[in-house]
Amino acid sequence: MNLEYEKDGYLKLNQVIPKNLTDRYFKYFLDAIKEENINNYNPGFANNDGDYKHLRNVTNNSLFKSIVEVLKKNENIIKLINNRRALVTHAKISFKKPMTQSSWHPHSDLGYKESIDFSGITIAVPLDRVGEMSGGIHLFPGSHKVYFQHEIVEHPLNQNFQIGIHQEIMIDGFKISPLYFCIEPGDVLLWDLNLVHASGVNNDEQTLRPILIFEVQFERLTLDDYGNVPVLLSGKFSPLDLIRLIFKKYYKKFMFFYLIIFSKIKNFCGKVV
């Protein structure tokens, strides 16, 4: 694996996604937010004024698959994944309405998970410029090796916003200085799922600063956060894995079906006896 990545916990790849893909995704984003469909947003991530920061349902289109195809062939990513199976388990477009409470407290993406016995990466693909004015991205190098308590709590200042409890710890006493990144469409910034990151307010009235952000888990056999069989960035599922995943997806429906059959049989036996 890349030594720098091991030590610092992040990697920046310059101009690896073709412009026509990011342009089309950007248009998809603009069209999606024009529709005032509340189901498009993640209510866990809104500020006190009710402004949303996450557009969800962003992977069921061919653009997402095309981006995954580009990343799959990237030598740096192949090296980093190092023959592990890599499952895309979460995806959204994070954006910032200008001049609103749109900053992100320092957090690690594992802080939102119930279980943390796996490793992985978060991949950020900017769809518009992410510059100094629009809030940037701040990464805390080496923080992926620091242990934080992982527990989800409500943000004390913002009832609509859940955070990992470790964010509070960091606000009070985190000693690593953040590195500040500006990224352009075409670039990819990725970091360890445990790495602490943050971003500022968008003061650039010209952009909503959309970034396609998705999480990739290594090895673990799991459905994605939306209950579907995950897209793979590397490796494959054996037929047995697929059966397990499909069972996980449908077992509640199966249970319902069994319960009905079982009660019918019981009823029938009752009548016969």
Applying CB under 5 A, which residues contact Fe ion? 109
Nearer to ligand AKG, 194 or 245 (CB): 194
Q: Which does 199 bind (CB under 5 to 8 A by kind): Fe ion, ligand AKG, none?
A: ligand AKG
Partner whose binding site includes residue 137, from Fe ion, ligand AKG, none (CB under 5 to 8 Å by kind): ligand AKG
Which residues are CB-neighbours of 93 under 8 A, at least 6 positions away? 29, 32, 54, 55, 58, 127, 210, 211, 212, 213
Residue nearest to ligand AKG (CB): 199
User: How far is it, in rounded angstroms, from Cα 216 to Cα 110?
Assistant: 11
- Quote the least distance from Cβ 268 to ligand AKG, whole Å: 53
Nearest residue to the partner Fe ion, using Cβ: 109
CB-nearer residue toward ligand AKG: 71 or 93? 93
- Whether 96 contacts 15, CB under 8 Å: no
Based on its alpha-carbon atoms, the radius of gyration of the chain, rounded to whole angstroms, reads: 21
d(CA 98, CA 134): 8
Q: φ, ψ for residue 34 (rounded to 5)?
A: -70, -35
Shortest approach of ligand AKG to residue 163 CB, angstroms? Answer: 10
Smallest distance, Fe ion to C-beta of residue 197, A: 6
In the complex with ligand AKG, the residue whose CB is nearer, 22 or 199, is 199
Cβ distance to ligand AKG smaller for residue 59 or 199: 199
Q: C-beta of 104: minimal distance to Fe ion in Å? A: 7
Residue 188 CB burial class (10 angstroms; 0-12, 13-18, ≥19): buried
Q: CA 273, CA 271: separation in Å to the nearest integer?
A: 6
Q: How far is CA 83 from CA 72, 123, 239, 273, in A?
A: 12, 18, 19, 60
Q: Which does 94 bind (CB under 5 to 8 A by kind): Fe ion, ligand AKG, none?
A: ligand AKG
For ligand AKG, the binding residues (CB under 6 A) are 94, 104, 109, 137, 197, 199, 211, 213
> Rounded to the nearest whole angstrom, what is the least distance from the CB of residue 22 to ligand AKG in the complex?
16
